């Protein structure tokens, strides 16, 4: 049923991606928590990266060199539900980072405690087919920002904005993802197919 | 055809709104000892022209018709600020009354703002202020209403928000008699919910089956039949 890669290449759809065609999952947090945060996510940055450069001068010529890649932190804006569930989970994660709570494996006081989590982002087209996705690896919350409380404003709803810092990005196009999910090796996975 | 699913959701929101407005009282006659009786103010659903017409159409026009509160829905607006990710299926795990672990999946519906006008019709300004004062003391700044008592409905609460107040003297069509009327505009944020037994499978089936593409071309289905269990 899914549109094949060949059909996509021939069709060359003129329809652009819309900003609401995405879904975010928070991995390595307790199951029900990560599910709720997927619903509460209002906005998320797509990962921006920069290649550092350096210059080499050689015989009156200047050469540009590419150095390390640097990942910009990702900002996530969450709806803040009035019963405080969303912030409760975020604060629990902060306590984990501060060594004030159990880690993802239930451990309290060990040296190799793992407080980092992963964030999976999936992008869809308008007929809800998965187009691409990526996982931000080893995230932690490096900043948290709350909406200001105010008695003179009756309309604004509070939000929580967290900045996620991470080590790496696992990027997958859909063929690799299908292989990963199904567990069945696919020949030429990750490459564009020109015929079926 | 789509499966027939109708749960009177707009009616439930509006009837709860009406319930909030019904219960205000006005003074009705002073007794010899200085005490007074009170009378409950009726609440009807209808736009101003219809309500006024019904007042004037009565053969015996007495004070017992007034005061009156008329409410009606003026518009339904999309509430994009409150939109939730439509790819999300909310999974809830819970233990039922028999001690069995259960999982429940639900979709989050689209959000809207219901704009509701409330008109107060009174026989005197004094009576008008009497009702206004009582209403405005309640909406400070909002009134929260409950529209469902199902444990798994995450939209069981909503708010009634007073947006604006306007004081009008109107001359309804077909009459020269003025009507002193106070209008209050309220906003009621709501979220339509999918039927409780419907999960993501049904919606995805509808979307993906309208057009069937193949390597040879695109086939359009003439009629789509979806049963209650989500099978097309």
Which CATH number goes with the domain that contains B185? 3.30.2000.40
pLDDT at A192 over 60: no
How remote is the C-alpha of A80 from its chain's centroid? 19
> Is A152 a domain residue?
yes
Among B8-22, B84-98, B160-174, which is the least confidently predicted range? B160-174
User: What would the pLDDT profile of A64-108 be if each residue is shown by its tens digit?
Assistant: 999 999 999 999 999 999 999 899 889 988 888 887 767 777 776
pLDDT, average across residues A112-119: 83
> Is B141 a domain residue?
yes
A130 touching B (Cβ < 8 Å): no
A32 touching B (Cβ < 8 Å): yes
Most confident of A156-165, B15-24, B49-58: A156-165
B220 touching A (Cβ < 8 Å): no
What tokens does B162 get?
Answer: 């007073």
Rounded Cα distance between A182 and A192, Å, is 19
Contact state of B90 with A1 under an 8 Å Cβ cutoff: no
> Is B39 a domain residue?
yes
Q: What is the pLDDT of residue A86?
A: 92
pLDDT, average across residues B175-200: 75
Work out how many domains chain A is built from and give that number: 1
- Which one has a higher pLDDT value, B3 or B217? B3
Mean pLDDT across chain A: 82
> Is A121 a domain residue?
yes
pLDDT at B207 over 60: no
> Is B130 a domain residue?
yes
> Is B68 a domain residue?
yes
pLDDT, average across residues A36-55: 93
Q: What is the pLDDT of residue B156?
A: 84
| % of residues, chain A, pLDDT over 70 | 79
> Is B74 a domain residue?
yes
Q: What is the pLDDT of residue B4?
A: 78
pLDDT at B191 over 50: yes
Contact state of A22 with B84 under an 8 Å Cβ cutoff: no
Sole residue written with tokens 């439509």: B86
pLDDT band at A112 (very low <50, low <70, confident <90, very high): low
Instruction: List beta partners, residue B186.
Output: B116, B162
User: Which among A3, A24, A124 has the least Cβ separation from residue B213?
Assistant: A3
Among B81, B87, B152, the strongest candidate for a mutation testing the A interface, having the largest count of A CBs within 10 A, is B87
Regarding pTM above 0.80, the answer is: no
Domain enclosing residue A69, as ranges: 22-53+65-194
Among B46-50, B104-108, B200-204, which is the least confidently predicted range? B200-204
Chain B nearest CA to A65, separation (Å): 42
> Is B60 a domain residue?
yes
pLDDT band at A129 (very low <50, low <70, confident <90, very high): confident
User: What would the pLDDT profile of B94-146 be if each residue is shown by its tens digit?
Assistant: 777 888 877 777 888 899 999 999 999 887 888 889 999 999 999 988 999 88
User: What would the pLDDT profile of A164-181 be if each residue is shown by its tens digit?
Assistant: 999 999 988 766 555 444
Q: What is the pLDDT of residue A189?
A: 45
> Is A14 a domain residue?
no
Mean pLDDT across chain B: 77
| % of residues, chain B, pLDDT over 90 | 25
DSSP secondary structure string for all residues of chain B? --------HHHHHHHHHHHHHTT-EEEEEE-TTS-EEEEEPEEEE--HHHHHHHHHT-SS--TTT-SEEEEEEEEEEE-GGG---TT-EEEEEEE-TTS-EEEEEEE---EEEEEEEEEEE-SSHHHHHHHHHHHHHH-SSEEEEE----TT-TT-EEEEEEEEEEEEEE--TT----EEEEEEEEEEEEE----TT--HHHHHHHHHHHEEE-SS-EEE-S-----TTS--
> Is B219 a domain residue?
no
Chain B nearest CA to A38, separation (Å): 7
Domain at A76, CATH number: 2.30.110
Domain enclosing residue B158, as ranges: 9-84+111-191
pLDDT at B230 over 50: no
Model ipTM value: 0.74
Residues from chain A that touch B204, judged by Cβ atoms under 8 A, are 128
Work out how many domains chain B is built from and give that number: 1
Rounded Cα distance between B139 and B145, Å, is 12
> Is A190 a domain residue?
yes
Chain B nearest CA to A196, separation (Å): 8
């Amino acid at each position: 049923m899914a549109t094949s890669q060949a059909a996509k290449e021939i069709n060359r759809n003129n329809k652009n991606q819309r900003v609401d065609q995405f879904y975010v999952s928070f991995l390595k947090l307790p199951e029900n928590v990560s599910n709720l945060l997927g619903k509460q996510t209002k906005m998320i940055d797509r990962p921006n990266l920069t290649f550092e450069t350096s210059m080499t001068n050689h015989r009156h010529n200047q050469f540009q060199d590419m150095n390390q890649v640097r990942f910009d932190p990702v900002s996530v804006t969450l709806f803040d539900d009035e019963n405080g569930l969303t912030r409760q989970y975020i604060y629990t994660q902060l306590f984990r980072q501060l060594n004030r709570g159990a880690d993802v494996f239930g451990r309290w006081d060990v040296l190799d405690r793992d407080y980092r989590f992963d964030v999976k982002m999936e992008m869809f087209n308008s007929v809800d087919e998965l187009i691409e996705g990526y996982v931000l690896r080893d995230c932690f919350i490096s900043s948290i920002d709350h909406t200001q409380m105010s008695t003179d404003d009756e309309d604004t709803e509070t939000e929580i904005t967290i900045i996620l810092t991470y080590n790496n990005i696992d990027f997958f196009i859909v063929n690799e993802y299908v292989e990963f999910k199904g567990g069945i090796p696919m020949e030429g996975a990750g490459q564009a197919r020109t015929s079926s | 055809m789509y499966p027939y699913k109708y749960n009177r959701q707009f009616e439930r929101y509006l009837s709860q709104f009406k319930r909030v407005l019904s219960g205000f009282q006005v003074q009705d006659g002073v007794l010899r000892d200085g005490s007074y009786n009170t009378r409950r103010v009726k609440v009807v659903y209808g736009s101003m022209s219809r309500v006024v017409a019904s007042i004037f159409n009565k053969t015996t026009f007495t004070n017992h018709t007034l005061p009156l509160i008329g409410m009606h829905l003026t518009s339904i607006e999309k509430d994009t600020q409150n939109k939730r990710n439509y790819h999300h299926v909310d999974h809830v795990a819970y233990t039922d009354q028999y001690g069995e672990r259960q999982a429940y999946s639900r979709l989050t519906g689209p959000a809207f703002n219901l704009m509701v006008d409330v008109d107060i019709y009174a026989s005197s300004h004094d009576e008008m202020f009497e009702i206004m004062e009582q209403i405005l003391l309640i909406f400070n700044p909002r009134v929260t209403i409950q529209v469902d008592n199902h444990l798994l409905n995450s939209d069981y609460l909503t708010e009634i928000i007073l947006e604006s107040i306007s004081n009008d003297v109107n001359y309804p069509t077909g009459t020269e008699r003025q009507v002193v009327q106070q209008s209050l505009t309220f906003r009621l944020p709501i979220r339509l919910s999918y039927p409780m037994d419907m999960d993501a499978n049904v919606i995805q089936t509808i979307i993906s089956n309208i057009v069937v593409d193949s390597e040879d071309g695109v086939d359009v289905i003439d009629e789509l039949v979806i049963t209650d269990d989500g099978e097309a």
